[in-house]
Structure 1
Amino acid sequence: MVKASTTRQAWLDAAYATFQRDGLAAVRVEPLARALGATKGSFYWHFTDRAELVAAVVARWEEERTDATIALAQAGGDARRRLEALFTAVAHQRHDPATLYVQAPAEGVDGAVARVSRRRVDYLADLLVELGHAPDEAQRRSLVALSTVVGLAQLAAVDVTPPDPEALIATAMRMVLA
Structure 2
Amino acid sequence: MASKRDWLEAGFKVLTESGVPGLTIERLSGDLGLTKGSFYHHFNGMSGYRADLLNHFEAQYTSRYIDGVERQGGSGSKLNRLLDLVLADEHAGLEIAIRAWALQDDEVRAVQERVDRLRIAYLRTLAREAGADEADALARLLYLVLVGARQVVPPLPTADLRDVYELAMRLLPKNATG
TM tier, shorter chain?
0.7 to 0.9
C-alpha root-mean-square deviation of aligned residues, in Å? 2.6
Percent identity over the alignment is 29
The 4+ residue runs of structure 1 with deviation greater than 4 A are none
1:11-37 per-position Cα deviation (integer Å, ceiling 9, x unaligned): 223223323444444322111122223
What is the 5 A alignment of 1:81-160? Answer: 81-97=77-93, 98-107=96-105, 108-133=107-132, 137-155=134-152, 158-160=153-155
Counterpart residue identity of residue 156, structure 2: T
TM-fit CA distance, 1:56: 1.6
Aligned residues: 168
Deviations 1:60-119 (A, max 9, x none): 2212211121122222457x6111111222222213313422322424312222122111
TM-score for the superposition, normalised by structure 2: 0.77
Q: What are structure 2's unaligned runs of at least 5 residues?
A: 174-178
* TM-score normalised over the length of structure 1: 0.77
Residue 174 of structure 1 is matched in structure 2 by 170
Q: Tell me if 1:58 matches 2:54.
A: yes
Q: State the AA in 2 paired with 1:56.
A: D
